[in-house]
Amino acid sequence: EVQLQAYGGGLVQAGGSLLLSCAVSGSGFDDYTFGWFRQPPGKEREGVSCIGTNNRLVYYVDSVNGRFTISRDLAKNTVFLEMNALEAEDTAVYYCGADPTGYGGRWSGQYPHWGQGTQVTVSS
């Protein structure tokens, strides 16, 4: 089983960039598919991006495609979400999740392991 800790959020102006990190502790990092999700104020959690084992099964929701990049680093046991050209609509609490089955995807129920969220606020 793994434990996740997300960090790197903050306040940024529209058009700016942030790098979110999800530090993963426990065994089997390479066996998990990881996903980034976000929950805007008053809305449901939505899948933003996921990355499978061996960097396969990379997915992006349409609204961030071309602006966000997900990656994973086995040596650091960390999953990253590089966010560029941020928009006010990206404001949300961002969460990372881990799926041991490898399926991943954008349904939060597929991920049994979660870290605490990190707040991203984009000012327009």
Encoding tokens for residue 18?
């942030």
Encoding tokens for residue 88?
């006010």
Question: SS3 for 122?
Answer: strand
pLDDT confidence of residue 104: 87
Cβ neighbours around 30 below 10 Å, total: 10
pLDDT confidence of residue 46: 96
pLDDT confidence of residue 52: 93
Cα separations in angstroms, 6 against 11, 66, 74, 94, 124:
16, 22, 16, 8, 24
8 A C-beta contact, residue 110 and residue 103: yes
pLDDT confidence of residue 50: 96
pLDDT confidence of residue 57: 74
Q: Mean pLDDT of residues grouped by 10 in the chain (124 residues)?
A: 96 98 94 96 95 86 96 95 98 97 89 96 96
